[in-house]
Amino acid sequence: MQPARRPGGRSAKVRAAVHDAVLELLREEDWDTLSIARVAERSGVHQATIYRRWGTLPALVDDTVTEQLSKGSPVPDTGSLRGDLEAYATQVAADVAGPLGRLYVRAAHIGTRGDDHETYMTDRAVQLEAMLQRARLRGEDPPGLLELMELVLAPIYYHAIFFNRPIGPEHARTYVDRLLRLRG
Amino acid sequence: MQPARRPGGRSAKVRAAVHDAVLELLREEDWDTLSIARVAERSGVHQATIYRRWGTLPALVDDTVTEQLSKGSPVPDTGSLRGDLEAYATQVAADVAGPLGRLYVRAAHIGTRGDDHETYMTDRAVQLEAMLQRARLRGEDPPGLLELMELVLAPIYYHAIFFNRPIGPEHARTYVDRLLRLRG
């Protein structure tokens, strides 16, 4: 379910208020008990409006996180596959190390609470697919999205989640080397 | 800080009671507010005893999880590097897919709450290092622990955390292929 987007209109204001409430609640200690009722209370937007627009809590959290990522960390378009992958990997590492990092992991926890697992960060996946497709059109041989996730995203999150020690840009670039080496 | 181990003695009983309480509390909805005070209350073991024995909540959670892993999923010793890695990868995938999977992720969240990040699953790391060392002694060329974590553990957890769709044994074995290919 895709919320309508009318920038500047009432709809956009409701969306922003609801997103802000989700981000605020994700920052709090009892984030794991986040619910649409609590988002409604915090945002001042009617619960019925939220349900109508987003359908479920995981869909709402997903929309919030994807919007943050798209605004703060647009998928790169540098003109080369390696350039795009390195820009992307170092950007994700920086995001995960920053204040939003923990929120993304919390959002993922909530996103996977229900049964509707296929939709998590769909918009983001579409943006990344477009990045890989641009490489293909330039005659390069890009990896698939799954390989990109498993070889680049997964270890970045792993370090952050299990060691609370986010990796730096140099380390992130070694994941791109590895990914390209496996395709060479 | 290593708790004393006297199987069958009072010390072992205290340890088991405290571990059980931690596992129970990790299963509950408000797991993120786990504290030594709540473990004391649940286990009936004095808070002072828990502090004396484990020092901090992350150390206690770490000890609990490592003990579960060592009991339920001992590090394999099949006689060959590939055999060990495949057994290990499919076992981790099964663990993560099982009821303990979510607990491990929750435990990691709690384990990285403080500043003492180096100690998470130290005992487990020592067991894995021993597995790689056995390969070295047989004249094989094993990966380092970091490569093993980044290429095998990280994507297994990534699928579980971000897609709530744990991978099966076949998929897990492709990670071992990848790891060995990168060293070949």
Q: Which residues contact B58 (CB under 8 A, 6 or more apart)?
A: B110, B111, B112, B113, B114, B116, B119, B120
Which of B120, B157, B181 lies at the smallest CB-CB distance from A163?
A: B120
Q: What is the pLDDT of residue A96?
A: 86
- Indicate the range of A169-173, B16-20, B114-118, B131-135 predicted with least confidence: B114-118
What is the SS3 assignment for B138-176? CCCCCCCHHHHHHHHHHHHHHHHHHHCCCCCHHHHHHHH
Reported as a pLDDT band with limits 50, 70 and 90, residue A59 is: confident
Residues of A near B (CB-CB distance < 8 A)? Answer: 29-33, 105, 108-109, 111-113, 117, 120-121, 149-151, 153-155, 157-158, 161-165, 175, 178, 181-182
Q: List where CATH 1.10.10.60 sits in chain B.
A: 1-55
Which of B30, B154, B181 lies at the smallest CB-CB distance from A158?
A: B154
Q: What is the pLDDT of residue B84?
A: 97
**Would the pLDDT of A48 be above 70?**
yes
**How large is the ipTM?**
0.80
Residues of A in contact with B105 (CB under 8 A): 109, 161
Q: What is the pLDDT of residue A73?
A: 84
% of residues, chain B, pLDDT over 90: 54
Q: Is the Cβ pair B105, A161 closer than 8 Å?
A: yes
**Would the pLDDT of A102 be above 80?**
no
Q: Is the Cβ pair A155, B151 closer than 8 Å?
A: yes
Determine the average pLDDT of the residues in A21-31.
Answer: 88
For residue range B121-178, list pLDDT tens digits in order. 777 888 999 999 999 999 999 999 999 999 999 999 888 877 777 889 999 999 999 9
Q: What is the pLDDT of residue B44?
A: 96
Determine the average pLDDT of the residues in A106-124.
Answer: 65
Determine the average pLDDT of the residues in A159-177.
Answer: 88
Which of A111, A113, A164 lies at the smallest CB-CB distance from B117?
A: A164
**Would the pLDDT of B100 be above 90?**
no
Q: List where CATH 1.10.357.10 sits in chain A.
A: 57-183
Alpha carbon of B54: minimum distance to chain A alpha carbons (Å): 19
Q: What is the pLDDT of residue A111?
A: 65
Architecture of domain A1-55: Orthogonal Bundle (1.10)
Distance in Å from the first CA to the final CA of chain B: 40
- Indicate the range of A78-87, A169-178, B77-86, B155-164 predicted with least confidence: B155-164
Which of A30, A32, A154 lies at the smallest CB-CB distance from B155?
A: A154
Q: At A11, which amino acid appears?
A: S
Average pLDDT, chain A: 87
Q: Mutating which of A32, A150, A171 best tests the B interface, going by the most B Cβ atoms within 10 A? A: A150
**Would the pLDDT of A72 be above 70?**
yes
Q: How far is Cα A141 from Cα A182, in angstroms, rounded to an integer? A: 12
Determine the average pLDDT of the residues in B2-24.
Answer: 81
Q: What is the pLDDT of residue B65?
A: 86
Which of A29, A120, A158 lies at the smallest CB-CB distance from B163?
A: A120
Find out whether B177 and B184 touch, Cβ atoms under 8 Å.
Answer: no
**Would the pLDDT of A47 be above 90?**
yes
- Residue with the larger pLDDT of the pair B122 and A60: A60
Q: Is the Cβ pair A164, B112 closer than 8 Å?
A: yes
Determine the average pLDDT of the residues in A112-122.
Answer: 58
To the question of domain B57-183 being in CATH 1.10.357.10, the answer is yes
Q: What is the pLDDT of residue B72?
A: 81
Determine the average pLDDT of the residues in B93-118.
Answer: 73
Reported as a pLDDT band with limits 50, 70 and 90, residue A116 is: low
Q: What is the pLDDT of residue A10?
A: 85
Find out whether A178 and A158 touch, Cβ atoms under 8 Å.
Answer: no
Q: What is the pLDDT of residue B153?
A: 92
What is the SS3 assignment for chain B? CCCCCCCCCHHHHHHHHHHHHHHHHHHCCCHHHCCHHHHHHHHCCCHHHHHHHHCCHHHHHHHHHHHHHHHHCCCCCCCCHHHHHHHHHHHHHHHHHCHHHHHHHHHHHHHCCCCCHHHCCHHHHHHHHHHHHHHHHCCCCCCCHHHHHHHHHHHHHHHHHHHCCCCCHHHHHHHHHHHHHHHC
Alpha carbon of B129: minimum distance to chain A alpha carbons (Å): 17
Residues of A in contact with B117 (CB under 8 A): 163-165
Residues of B in contact with A30 (CB under 8 A): 30, 32-33
Q: What is the pLDDT of residue A120?
A: 60
Q: What is the pLDDT of residue B101?
A: 78
Average pLDDT, chain B: 87
Reported as a pLDDT band with limits 50, 70 and 90, residue B35 is: very high
Among B62, B161, B36, which Cα is nearest to B120's? Answer: B62
Positive or negative CA dihedral for A35, B24, A27, A106?
negative
- Indicate the range of A154-168, B84-98, B102-116 predicted with least confidence: B102-116
Reported as a pLDDT band with limits 50, 70 and 90, residue B119 is: low
Alpha carbon of A8: minimum distance to chain B alpha carbons (Å): 32
